[in-house]
Structure 1
Amino acid sequence: MNHSGDIPTISIDALPSEDYVLLDVREPDEWAAGHAPSAVHIPLGELPARAGELSELAADRPVHVVCRTGGRSARATAWLNAAGVVDAVNVEGGMKTWEAMGRPMVSDRADVPAEVL
């Protein structure tokens, strides 16, 4: 893990195999098109209102935050850490890198393969 400025960051290949929360902060249409099977979806704009939900879900596990390419997740990570909600880490490269690395993805759209919008 490294720190881009004050934002803790982790590469996709360095993600632990288990015992963490993968928080996807993309918009609903992006989520529906394709997301990691174990991810939790809270769009960036809803994060302040749903922070308590995330805190309960995470318990004592780290939260790794992902978006499309890393910008929104960096903002979410900074906010979560500054607000003391959870121990958050930005996932470098986002879902575009996840997809490029061949990581598993699922879609909420019928008969359409998962993709990153």
Structure 2
Amino acid sequence: MNLSQQDWKSQLEADTNAVILDVRTEDEWNEGMIPNAILNDIYKGQGFLYRLEELDKSKNYYVYCKAGGRSAQACAVMNQMGFENTYNLEGGFMNWKGDVAFPEE
């Protein structure tokens, strides 16, 4: 499901069963990420799928990339794999107005 920036952020803040999933590359991730996100680069192909298999399908996944395209693809793949609740951030990280964190060195 696609959510606007505001809806994604407000729904995320109220969700006690949320996981934030960043599907960008590690280089993009290192330039800043949404706090508490986990990285799973969709360009890794089979590696991306393996990491998805390890995730708890009962959680609600808030997925983002740079502009919203890769994360929409990721949500579609996750839905096919049995994830029921995936939320794509429309406009992606480049339009994000919320807090930004940087990965630990």
Q: TM-score, normalised by structure 2?
A: 0.81
Contact 1:34 1:106 in 2 (8 A): yes
> Is the 1:11–1:92 contact (alpha carbons within 8 Å) kept by the matching residues of 2?
yes
1:37-69 CA-to-partner distances (Å, cap 9, x unmatched) read 111111112321111222x2xx53310110000
Please tell me whether Structure 1 or Structure 2 has the larger radius of gyration of its CA atoms: 1
- Residue by residue over 1:65-114, the C-alpha shift from the partner in whole angstroms, topping out at 9 and shown as x without a partner, is 1000001001101110012145212111110111xx2x11112387xxxx
Name the aligned partner's letter for residue 39 of structure 2: H
Q: 2:101 aligns with which of 92, 99, 106?
A: 106
1:13 matches 2:11: no
The one-letter code matched in structure 2 to 1:96 is: M
Is the CA contact (8 Å cut-off) linking 1:33 and 1:109 kept in structure 2? Answer: no
Query: Any gaps of 5 or more consecutive residues in structure 1?
Result: 1-7, 111-117
Aligned CA RMSD, in angstroms, stands at 1.8
Q: 5+ unaligned residues in a row in structure 2: which ranges?
A: none
Provide runs of 4+ in structure 1 moved above 4 Å: none
Identity over the aligned pairs, expressed in percent?
32
TM-score (normalised: structure 1): 0.74
